Copies of this chain bind each other. A is one copy, B any other.
Amino acid sequence: MKSGSPALLALAAALAVSGMALAQSQEAGPRHVPAKVLAVPTDVSPEMQEIIARPLNPAWNDQWKTGEEARRYADKQAAAVVKTIPPLLQRMRVKMEASTMDGVRVHVITPDEVPGQNRNRVLVHVHGGCYVLFPGESGTTEAIMMAGLGHFKVIAVDYRMPPEAYFPAALDDAMTVYKAVIKNANPKNVGIFGTSAGGALTLEMVLKAKQDGLPMPGAISSGTPMSDVTKTGDSFYANEKVDNVLVSPNGFCHAATLIYAHGHDLQDPLLSPVYGDMHGFPPTILITGTRDLLLSNTVRVHRKLRELGIDAALNVFEAQSHAQYTSDDRVPETKEAFGEITEFFNAHLGK
């Protein structure tokens, strides 16, 4: 269907008197969307159907007020997540060790087998969790999957979070690690990746590297980035209570971001990177899902990069809510997403 050209507006009047069925809402302006029930889609893998069928995240409306409060939740969650890590390491055939780089806590993840082309390559990982979740080892699952499925050496940054520290501590720690890494590696062989807050931190790191006159990494992967924490972005609303992970623009993730921001301007590109100057960005791959609360804020970053002529590849997965492609390495769509990122890094690192 060709959409409403100027001529179609003229038509609307004609149709209104032609006895054809009229829409409920005839006025221009906000869209009134009736309540609906969305079936579990059948055009994704059975494993992904299970993930999509999950009820709304029970914590979605937690309104944490302090770093301490958020951290209590984070610690409880982390205790459950870390139990899943030993079998994950085994399935992925990687080794992980805790360490520090210039005082910043990291986990170094090394695949049992590193192909020749990846011997000089390193990926820096920044985890998600709305800047307050997934401390310590619990923040490494995505990094482990990337190392295992992509056969890369990965350094996962265990950046400081509230109440230990506030904005810009996460970014500062990530930059410390990036600087340490590019002392020993050609920046063109270094990639940065992360999802959600980690997707935003990935973009923020590149903005900060530009500000500080540091060399650009060879390529980056920004998964469904929290690129705009000012609640701007249409899918915040269109996908409210459609996304079963973040659920609402007014939920726990916004509360968490306010704690991290600690009064800092939310429109600062180092918190809302969609407002940053992206000239000179390296090749960037972006991933989101059609039910993702951050669908808009992923595609807005893509459009901004493309307007500047930057090589930017957008991938949108059917019916997935926020970051569900990172849920479980055994799900076909997870393998597919990490396969895309791997192919992108392989095509662009070292160029």
> How many monomers of this chain does the complex have?
2
Binds B, one of A158-166, A177-185, A205-213, A309-317: A309-317
How many angstroms from the CA of A177 to the CA of B27 in the assembled complex?
42
How many angstroms from the CA of A137 to the CA of B98 in the assembled complex?
67
Question: Cβ of B232 and Cβ of A43 under 8 Å apart?
Answer: yes
Give the Cβ gap from A93 to chain B, nearest Cβ, in Å.
19
Contact for A5 among B11, B37, B328, CB less than 8 A: B328
Give the residue name and chain of the B residue nearest to A39 (CB): B30
Residue A116 is within 8 A (CB to CB) of chain B in the complex: no
Residue A234 is within 8 A (CB to CB) of chain B in the complex: yes
Question: Cβ of A133 and Cβ of B2 under 8 Å apart?
Answer: yes
- Residues from chain B with a CB closer than 8 A to the CB of A9 are 54
Residue A222 is within 8 A (CB to CB) of chain B in the complex: no
Question: Cβ of B290 and Cβ of A318 under 8 Å apart?
Answer: no
Give the Cβ gap from A286 to chain B, nearest Cβ, in Å.
10
Residue A121 is within 8 A (CB to CB) of chain B in the complex: no
How many angstroms from the CA of A37 to the CA of B33 in the assembled complex?
6
Q: What's the dominant secondary structure at chain A's contact region? A: loop
Question: Cβ of B34 and Cβ of A1 under 8 Å apart?
Answer: no
Binds B, one of A55-63, A103-111, A149-157, A263-271: A55-63
How many angstroms from the CA of A45 to the CA of B122 in the assembled complex?
40
Give the residue name and chain of the B residue nearest to A294 (CB): B1
Residue A246 is within 8 A (CB to CB) of chain B in the complex: yes
Give the Cβ gap from A241 to chain B, nearest Cβ, in Å.
5
Give the residue name and chain of the B residue nearest to A312 (CB): B313
- Residues from chain B with a CB closer than 8 A to the CB of A14 are 76, 80
Question: Cβ of B247 and Cβ of A36 under 8 Å apart?
Answer: no
Given contacts A5-B141, A20-B58, A290-B299, 11 further A-B contacts (CB under 8 A): A1-B253, A2-B129, A6-B328, A28-B54, A31-B37, A43-B232, A43-B234, A43-B300, A238-B242, A299-B317, A302-B316
A interface list, Cβ under 8 A from B: 1-12, 14-16, 20-43, 50-51, 53-63, 76-77, 80-81, 83-84, 127-130, 133-134, 141-142, 195-197, 232-235, 237-242, 244-247, 252-253, 290-291, 295-296, 299-300, 302-303, 306-307, 313-319, 321-324, 326-328, 336, 340
What are 26 inter-chain pairs, A to B, with CB distance below 8 A?
Answer: A1-B130, A1-B246, A2-B133, A3-B321, A3-B323, A3-B327, A5-B81, A5-B141, A5-B327, A8-B81, A9-B54, A10-B80, A14-B76, A23-B55, A24-B56, A27-B55, A28-B53, A28-B55, A31-B38, A31-B242, A33-B242, A43-B296, A238-B239, A290-B295, A295-B316, A303-B315
